[in-house]
Amino acid sequence: MQDLEIYVRELEPGRIGDWLGQSLSGLSLAPVGNRGVQKGAGEYQGSRVRVTCYPGAFSKHFTSVVLEGEQLPWTSDLECARDAWNCLQQEVRCSPGDWQEGEPVQDEKWWRIDERGEQKVVWN
């Protein structure tokens, strides 16, 4: 099972379907509970891909988008973030993938993709 996670700034709920619908066939998302969480699934190369969107991540301005499946349209968080930026034109962040458990969080750098390009930054 593979999983990817990105964070999209100020994401409007309906826009996630606009982006993911380009790569996943039969995409269906529905609200779960009263906190704005959306869950659903689509298909990629014959494999089911689960999608979960958690609004209000990191100072309430970002939506965490989690994709899980045996086959995914992207091979890394950064590749997924680039595709999201290209479609949504809203700031996207993701882990660089090199942080290790036990390392100080304040030293952790994230990829930020926006109109300024791609940069590794401290989240705050």
pLDDT at 100: 58
Mean pLDDT of 82-88: 97
pLDDT at 55: 94
Among 54, 60, 119, CA closest to 93: 119
By residue count, the chain amounts to 124
Single-letter code of the amino acid located at 1: M
| Bigger pLDDT: 44 vs 98 | 44
Could you give the 3-state DSSP secondary structure of residue 84? helix
Phi, psi at 77, each rounded to 5°: -60, -40
Q: How confident is the model at residue 33 (pLDDT cuts 50, 70, 90)?
A: confident
Single-letter code of the amino acid located at 103: E
Q: Is the pLDDT reported for residue 69 higher than 80?
A: yes
Mean pLDDT of 17-44: 94
Among 67, 63, 62, 69, CA closest to 79: 67
Sign, CA torsion 104/106/112/118: negative
Q: Partners of 94 in the beta sheet?
A: 111
| Residue pair 123/113 in contact by the 8 Å Cβ criterion | no
